[in-house]
Chains A and B, each alone.
Chain A
Amino acid sequence: AQSVTQPDIHITVSEGASLELRCNYSYGATPYLFWYVQSPGQGLQLLLKYFSGDTLVQGIKGFEAEFKRSQSSFNLRKPSVHWSDAAEYFCAVGESGNLIFGKGTKLSVKP
């Protein structure tokens, strides 16, 4: 079975600093990969997705992610973090028609 690992449970960055959230997956073939964001007490919002093609994908809110097959990674990046980016971020991989989610990384933003 596939698995998704988000190594960082909690990350704190300063407003305006760059951000990288890590995601590693285990899967033999080219996976379907997703990043979602969740504000406290809310549902999940899709930030971006990778199915095939260009390994650098752009998403909403200025986020991007890069698929690296050799490292089995799909890390999420943002060049300059805003206070409103404080939330929990989930990486997910598609398997057999369903999504397998990582346990999430909580992002705090310092003023």
Chain B
Amino acid sequence: DGGITQSPKYLFRKEGQNVTLSCEQNLNHDAMYWYRQDPGQGLRLIYYSQIVNDFQKGDIAEGYSVSREKKESFPLTVTSAQKNPTAFYLCASSMDRYEQYFGPGTRLTVT
């Protein structure tokens, strides 16, 4: 089955630690995205990548980093510089820039 996988589903970290969220897709999509979702805030774009080895900042990139070494993978690192990292993180991919398909999400809790 084609789709997007995110792991783990739940992640717990201590404040001050970096943490990496995984996103893999086997849809052969060129573009991949990371969103942050907070209650009542909708989805906010963190980073996106239209092609391997290239990525751009979204609206709320501060405190986050990404890499795109393979077409299938787009990991997101939440660094200790992110002031409020507890949130639900969604990864998406698309072939035509707009029609995006989403993974199941990772809920990150930092205490």
**A residues lining the B interface (CB < 8 Å):** 9, 32, 34, 36, 41-46, 49, 90, 94, 97-99, 101-104
Contacts and interface: CB of A to CB of B under 8 A. Distances in A.
A97 B51 CA distance: 13
B98 A97 contact: yes
9 contacts: A34-B99, A44-B43, A44-B92, A49-B99, A90-B42, A90-B43, A94-B98, A98-B45, A102-B42
A101 B104 contact: no
Given A90-B43, A102-B42, A103-B40, A42 B99 contact: no
B102 A41 contact: no
A98 B48 contact: yes
Interface of B: 4, 6, 31, 33, 40-43, 45, 48, 50, 58, 88, 90, 92, 97-105, 107
A41 B105 CA distance: 8
The DSSP consensus for interface residues of chain A is: strand
B107 A41 contact: yes
A81 to B, nearest CB: 23
Contacts of B48: 98
A32 B99 CA distance: 9
Nearest to B107: A41
A103 B42 contact: yes
Contact of B98 (A34, A42, A43, A104): A34
A99 B42 contact: no
B104 A42 contact: yes
Q: Which of B6, B48, B98, B103 has the most CB of A within 10 A?
A: B98
Given A99-B45, A101-B42, 9 more contacts: A9-B40, A36-B102, A44-B90, A49-B98, A97-B31, A98-B45, A98-B97, A101-B43, A103-B41
